[in-house]
Structure 1
Amino acid sequence: MKSTSVAGKKFDHFKGLSMVLLGAVLWGVSGTAAQVLFQRDGFQSGWLVSVRMSIAGMLLLAGVSIKSGPMRTIAVWKDKRDALKLVLFGIIGLLGVQYSYFSSIRYGNAATGTMLQYMGPIFITGYLALRQRRLPSISQFAAVFLALAGALLLVTNGDFHSFSIAPLAFFWGLVSAITLAFYSLYPQVLLQKYDSATIVGWAMLIGGIGMSFITPPWRYTGHSSLGAWWLVSFVVLFGTLVAFYVYISSLKYITASEASLLSCGEPLSASIIAVAFLHVQMGLPAMIGGVCILVTVAILALNRPAERPVPITEKSSRR
């Protein structure tokens, strides 16, 4: 009986690791799909963000309503302060990180855009150090140094006199890292009171509606084809809804540190696909820079205190 229990725990752990890796890969592939839509088919990043967030938000909230009931889904709107926090999270957090991330891909490529976004933990570390009025640890200093060195190599490809990527790609990538830090830190109070799927679902819908005032979903520019609409469907369904679901579900079986480490599968998958299929040129210095940023994520994840898996209502997904 005991051996069966141990085997069951090992299987659950393996299942959790597989799920978070699948979610990370889907995010990475969706970034590459977005690059094709922007650079080959002429779609706008704002339009894709409004469609992606609106549809995924509605589907996610529908799932929560079916599972937990409509009253639980709208509970957050009964508290004015929580409702205001939710709106700010949706506009600044989710919409901010989505729009800046896709804009970085539009002006550059999925590989560098995703790598730059992974500098988010550095801004989180800096903010927490200032807020708690303490110096970062030696390992955190090492992580900051690696991240900055990695970003420098990534955007210059070793030639420090010029950029190897478009300045706008770097700018939006940096913005996506900052908004990712806000996205990770701001909703913690909400996530302690409400189900994470409910909060993220409403935030997606709010962000999608907000973006619709600028780029309405029914007005798009780009080459309309079966292949293009298949890519849009993939980004919305698999790159958003399925990726979020498997990631958040994995937190029932593994720790947040393990999830953070395996989420490095996102930039790796984006880089591999971009280089192999889209013929994105990445020199050795840029590749080393990307590795430095991934090592940064590993250092910061391993630097967390020991933890156990907790109910998914107490955690959120990175997207």
Structure 2
Amino acid sequence: MQVKREGIGAILAIIGAVCWGIQGPISQFLFQDDSYSPEWLMGVKMTIAGVLILLFTTGVKHQPLLKVWQTPRDACLLLVYSLFGLAAVQYFYLVTVSASNAGTATILQSLGTIIIVILTAMIYHHLPSRNEGVAIGLALIGTWLLVTRGNLFHLAISGEALTLGLLLALAGALQTMLPVSLLKRHDVMIVVGWGMVIGGGLFSIIHPFWVDPPHFTVGGVIGVASIVILGTMVSFVCFTTSLKYVSPTVAGMLDTFEPLSATLGSVAFLNTSFNFAEICGGVLILSTVFVLALPTLKPNLK
């Protein structure tokens, strides 16, 4: 029975990661048309996905939607998580894709795991463990190879893309750390649903999606619908639900399907190319997840 539960959790985590990953190439395809902007896409995808998640939660799961707002502490935490975690990671992902490509953006997002290690060490005032130190070193080397394409003294991507990618990684770390206590008291679907609605509302104010909409084609409509349903709603629901069946460590390891699917999609459908140095850099960055999952070896004092 335990094996079956872990299998279900693994499948859900992989589906969630792949759905998030394929959002990158689809976004990259849409941004080739200048009429699509990250701000417009954020308002559409977060608002629609959030409303659908909340309707599912109250209509199928029969969960109270307003309970999370009844405690001032939880309400404030939800707002902070929604803006600086959930909305920030999705926005910085889209603008990093726009400034570089889907594969590079998704790999840089993986640095969020290293930022969590560093922030945890700073908050609790302890040095990183041996595994954490190795992971940080691999991440630094991998990032350098990725952004220089092997020419170690020249950036192969723009400074804007690198800055946005690092902000994306920071937002990813905050998205993981901020809602921990909130999820202990409230259903994950409630938290994610309201987070989507809040983020979508903010970007609808910045760039109302009903004002000057892009010129829609069949491909554009399919692309936007895919991002809303698969890349936003299905990805978050599947991945967060997987945590009921597998540990965060296992889910994090399976999360490496994100950059894999994003990179393969970019290469296959958008003719994006990666040289040997970039591939090595991406592998080093992704390997940090597995290094952090290894048990820390203690020295034998006998």
TM-score bracket for this pair, using the shorter chain length: over 0.9
Within the candidate set 96, 109, 125, 1:133 is matched to 125
Q: Deviations over 1:229-248 (max 9, x none)?
A: 11000000011111222222
Within the candidate set 38, 46, 54, 2:39 is matched to 46
The question of 1:241 aligning with 2:233 is answered: yes
Q: Deviations over 1:172-191 (max 9, x none)?
A: 11101011111111121211
Within the candidate set 278, 286, 290, 1:298 is matched to 290
Other-structure match for 1:97 = 89
Take 1:163 and 1:222, find their aligned partners in 2: how far apart are those partners?
A: 33
RMSD over aligned Cα atoms? 1.6
For residue 282 of structure 1, report the CA deviation from its aligned partner: 0.8
1:93–1:182 CA contact under 8 A, matched in 2: yes
Identical aligned pairs, as a percentage?
A: 37
Within the candidate set 7, 10, 18, 1:14 is matched to 7
2:95–2:164 CA contact under 8 A, matched in 1: yes
Give TM-score scaled by structure 1 length.
0.89
For residue 257 of structure 1, report the CA deviation from its aligned partner: 1.2
The question of 1:268 aligning with 2:289 is answered: no
Q: Deviations over 1:210-257 (max 9, x none)?
A: 111111111355442011011000000011111222222222322221
2:131–2:294 CA contact under 8 A, matched in 1: no
Q: Provide closer, same or farther for how the CA distance between residues 164 and 36 of structure 1 changes in structure 2, counting only shifts above 3 A.
A: same
Take 2:168 and 2:157, find their aligned partners in 1: how far apart are those partners?
A: 16
Take 1:182 and 1:251, find their aligned partners in 2: how far apart are those partners?
A: 18
Letter paired with 2:91: Y
1:257–1:302 CA contact under 8 A, matched in 2: no
| Range that drifts further, 121-130 or 12-21 | 12-21
For residue 61 of structure 1, report the CA deviation from its aligned partner: 0.9
Other-structure match for 2:53 = 60
Higher relative contact order, chain-length normalized (CA < 8 Å, sep 6+)? 2
Other-structure match for 1:106 = 98
Within the candidate set 177, 188, 191, 1:185 is matched to 177
Take 1:39 and 1:166, find their aligned partners in 2: how far apart are those partners?
A: 18
Structure 1 unaligned spans of 5+:
1-7, 305-319
Other-structure match for 2:20 = 27
Structure 2 unaligned spans of 5+:
297-302
Aligned positions of 1:112-191 closer than 5 A: 112-191=104-183
Letter paired with 2:288: T
Give TM-score scaled by structure 2 length.
0.94
For residue 92 of structure 1, report the CA deviation from its aligned partner: 1.4
Q: Deviations over 1:107-153 (max 9, x none)?
A: 11000000001100111111110111110001100100111111111
Take 1:162 and 1:222, find their aligned partners in 2: how far apart are those partners?
A: 36
The question of 1:287 aligning with 2:279 is answered: yes
Q: Deviations over 1:77-113 (max 9, x none)?
A: 1112211111111111111111111000011100000
Query: Alignment partner of 1:73: what SS?
Result: coil
1:41–1:228 CA contact under 8 A, matched in 2: no
Q: Deviations over 1:49-79 (max 9, x none)?
A: 1111111111111111113436x21101111
Number of residue equivalences: 296
Letter paired with 1:28: G
Take 1:11 and 1:64, find their aligned partners in 2: how far apart are those partners?
A: 25
